[in-house]
Structure 1
Amino acid sequence: MLPLNPALAATFRPPVMEARRWLEGLTFPPERPLINLSQAAPVEPPPEALRRAMAEAALQRPDAHLYGPVLGRPDLREAVARDWSRAYAGTIRADEVAITQGCNQAFCAAIQTLARAGDEVILPTPWYFNHKMWLDMQGIRAVPLRCGPGMLPDAAEAARLVSDRSRAIVLVSPNNPSGAEYPAELLRGFFDLARSRGLALVLDETYRDFDAREGAPHDLFADPDWGDTLIHLYSFSKAYRLTGHRVGALIANPARMAEVEKFLDTVAICAGQLGQIGAAWGMANLRDWLAGERAEILARRRAMAQGMAALPGWRVKGCGAYFAWVEHPFAMPAPELAQRLLRQAGVLLLPGSMFMPADDPEAARHLRIAFANADRDGIAALMRRLEAFRP
């Protein structure tokens, strides 16, 4: 028997892939097709103009097929620095931006620079499962921070969890899986806590383009010393439907960027060139199109909230960006309920147990609904099926 890394072996399997395995052997009649709300990703390709720009680059630009700089193409790094500086009323330089193979890799890179086996990282629950998986693989303890009303974590409660092994606090806003949009003052509270205790605040803003609020979601980049505390993560996958091209971003101070470069060079050398070209083209040309995408997601959010409010016994705990975090009314654990909903109602959702510690009793009561994968007619169909469902 070959050796096996025990930390990797102890890490749970990818939840979305587990849910897909539930589909094996099942069929769904044409009059009641599967409603798949398990994965938070666009199901349509990028807009045609973006695809044409990428196709032209593939044909006309030899560098689109070669290794590029480890930290990303200069034009994309400069565009991110410029746009983020304007959006957040702060100062971000291109040398403080790294382009990664998706936001998951950005998270892995950030944690690799911060912590080692035996250290601790504070994660609000429910957490994004890939964050928990990476910490588990590295032998880093994820310290759960339970969210309160509105699915918001509390900095004072987090302060009580800080130990001499703590290295970072991780926040996701708008949140996956709860959809909660963290107020600016909440983020400032966590920033101040992290700074006072010598920790990093890792802020994942993958879904910032679909925040219902206008203007900057926080003012952390306006702090002249933001780089001493803040590491910011972003994904181009949702904004421009570039999921298959894996393009993300990490923003940190230059000293940390030197460490990030070591990690990225080792695991990927560089992010894919075509995806980076597409992201830069999208930033320059798709502002109005992206505004339309945001408006559509916000309309789906309203439809989701209104539909759930009319369902007896169901309770929406958080709703925003791509997600609703809901409490179900049935006397069975969420994993069993999720599989019954699939078999009896043709609805694929993820149970709360995939986003929370195994010993948390709240996990059995909740489901995540990735409603951005359904249009408003699809959301209406979901409501009819949930209303008619009898376990």
Structure 2
Amino acid sequence: MEAVQSPIIPIVGELIRNTPGTISLGQGVVSYPPPPEAIELLPKFLSEESNNLYKQVIGIPPLIAAIQAKLQSFNGIEIKDDNCVVVTAGSNMGFVNAVLTITSPGDEIILNAPYYFNHEMATIMAGCHPVIIETDENYQLRVDAIEKAITPKTRAIVTISPNNPTGVVYPEASLRAVNELCRERGIYHISDEAYDYFTYNGVKHVSPASFPGSSKHTISLFSLSKAYGFASWRIGYMVIPSDLLVSIQKVQDTILICPPVISQYAALGALQSSPKYIQENISKLAKVRSAVLDSLQKLEGICTIAPADGAFYFFLKVHTSMDTFTLVERLIKEYQVAALPGTTFGMNQGCYLRVAYGALQQETAKAGIERLVTGLKNIL
């Protein structure tokens, strides 16, 4: 455990608490609450006496049915005999389930940098080795480099689209190339799609598990935390090859027994809510994104901002030799604005900041970005 990095969000959170008035552009959550339909199902949960007991390890049947309908209509993923759904306590748990199921100690998992830090942490905790592949200057996949990194110990390639921490969306061609590579080499494609609803400018999300012939080697991870304002309710789900189900049940039963049933009822209500709920919230977020991007343009010459048409992040390459965490500390203490250091996402060469705007209303986000712009201009 000493080899595992400490999660950065609590560390930055402590700095924020010690600097009252700080606007946080750090943690990746949304500002809006769950839909009313999620709350309306809670009395039904409370009225059924047996709900104090453990339920199915993989999730309650009504929720699984609702998830299957969502996967079919939005992601183009059809659940048949060769794949199945497992409800989890968030998509982070889905990743841990997958890694513990498909690896043995000493195996390798390919991550694309900048990576989601919990993926790297979970890989090391499982006794495996993260193999880090750099993306290009716009944080897009370099499929040729991924292919060269595959060894006899490789068990999976991980992709995140829309991406955390960069906000980029991988094109269908890149995802198809990675998925086909996994099929050819007999390894798994772990596709993290926690931000599948969050795309802008007409960009469409693509789920690798929707590709023909992909079911037996594709593990897809989803979450209600972002799209439905469910962060603390801890509900996500996986689409997995059916032949992994017995092993994943072993992992989930050991760690969790079953996903929190009260949260599963709320999730069922959320998935039954009107499509307008997500559409209107994403539309509001798009306006925040536009205002943030306008303000960030003032950093031309100080930062490079790659195109980002997804999630609710921008990943800034700061043109400085200053230590990244030192910069983060100074921005909090001197300018009362917080961002996350790129080092926690595997970017150890150069100075990078992840800026998150999903948790803020438009005016607060604009104020936070203005503080960031002012701070970077004065510090550098």
TM-score after normalising by structure 1:
0.90
Q: After TM superposition, where is structure 1 displaced by more than 4 Å over at least 4 residues in a row? A: 213-216
Contact 2:111 2:132 in 1 (8 A): yes
Long gaps (5+) in structure 2: none
Match of 1:106 among 75, 94, 104: 94
Task: Go from structure 1 to structure 2 and tell me whether the alpha carbon gap of 1:63 and 1:322 turns closer, same or farther (over 3 Å shift).
Answer: farther
Q: Shift in Å at residue 310 of structure 1?
A: 2.2
Listed as ranges, the matches of 1:1-391 within 5 Å are 8-24=1-17, 26-28=18-20, 33-54=21-42, 56-93=43-80, 96-212=84-200, 217-218=205-206, 220-312=208-300, 313-319=302-308, 320-356=310-346, 360-362=348-350, 365-389=351-375, 390-391=378-379
Contact 1:112 1:263 in 2 (8 A): yes
Query: Greater helix share, 1 or 2?
Result: 1
Task: Go from structure 1 to structure 2 and tell me whether the alpha carbon gap of 1:215 and 1:149 turns closer, same or farther (over 3 Å shift).
Answer: closer
- SS of match in other structure, 1:367: strand
Amino acid at match of 1:72: G
Aligned-residue sequence identity (percent) comes to 26
Contact 1:106 1:233 in 2 (8 A): yes
- 1:324-381 deviations in Å (ceiling 9; x for gaps): 1011244412110000000011011111111116xx313xx10001111222212221
- 1:157-177 deviations in Å (ceiling 9; x for gaps): 100100111010001110010
Higher relative contact order (CA 8 A, sep 6+): 2
> Quick one: distance in 2 between partners of 1:90 and 1:246?
23
Count of aligned pairs:
374
Q: Shift in Å at residue 100 of structure 1?
A: 0.3
Task: Go from structure 1 to structure 2 and tell me whether the alpha carbon gap of 1:308 and 1:91 turns closer, same or farther (over 3 Å shift).
Answer: same
Worse-matched range after superposition: 181-190 or 252-261: 252-261
> Quick one: distance in 1 between partners of 2:80 and 2:281?
28
Task: Go from structure 1 to structure 2 and tell me whether the alpha carbon gap of 1:63 and 1:44 turns closer, same or farther (over 3 Å shift).
Answer: farther
Long gaps (5+) in structure 1: 1-7
> Quick one: distance in 1 between partners of 2:80 and 2:273?
22
- SS of match in other structure, 1:168: strand
Contact 1:347 1:382 in 2 (8 A): yes
- 1:188-222 deviations in Å (ceiling 9; x for gaps): 01001111111100000000111226586236334
Contact 1:88 1:216 in 2 (8 A): no
- SS of match in other structure, 1:231: strand
> Quick one: distance in 2 between partners of 1:12 and 1:41?
21
Worse-matched range after superposition: 89-98 or 236-245: 89-98
- SS of match in other structure, 1:335: helix
Q: Shift in Å at residue 10 of structure 1?
A: 1.5
Amino acid at match of 2:47: Q
Amino acid at match of 2:98: A
Worse-matched range after superposition: 257-266 or 208-217: 208-217
> In structure 2, what is the equivalent of residue 3 of structure 1?
none
Contact 2:31 2:361 in 1 (8 A): no
Amino acid at match of 1:335: F
- 1:130-176 deviations in Å (ceiling 9; x for gaps): 01111111121100110103211111110010011101000111001
Contact 1:203 1:231 in 2 (8 A): yes
> Quick one: distance in 2 between partners of 1:52 and 1:21?
35
> Quick one: distance in 2 between partners of 1:279 and 1:213?
28
Task: Go from structure 1 to structure 2 and tell me whether the alpha carbon gap of 1:222 and 1:317 turns closer, same or farther (over 3 Å shift).
Answer: closer
- SS of match in other structure, 1:239: coil
> Quick one: distance in 2 between partners of 1:245 and 1:90?
25
- SS of match in other structure, 2:132: strand
- 1:47-98 deviations in Å (ceiling 9; x for gaps): 44432332x1343233443211000011111111122123233421497000
Task: Go from structure 1 to structure 2 and tell me whether the alpha carbon gap of 1:215 and 1:78 turns closer, same or farther (over 3 Å shift).
Answer: farther
Task: Go from structure 1 to structure 2 and tell me whether the alpha carbon gap of 1:48 and 1:34 turns closer, same or farther (over 3 Å shift).
Answer: farther
Amino acid at match of 1:87: F
Task: Go from structure 1 to structure 2 and tell me whether the alpha carbon gap of 1:285 and 1:174 turns closer, same or farther (over 3 Å shift).
Answer: same
- 1:110-129 deviations in Å (ceiling 9; x for gaps): 11111121110000001100
> Quick one: distance in 1 between partners of 2:50 and 2:201?
39
Contact 2:38 2:265 in 1 (8 A): no
Task: Go from structure 1 to structure 2 and tell me whether the alpha carbon gap of 1:214 and 1:87 turns closer, same or farther (over 3 Å shift).
Answer: farther
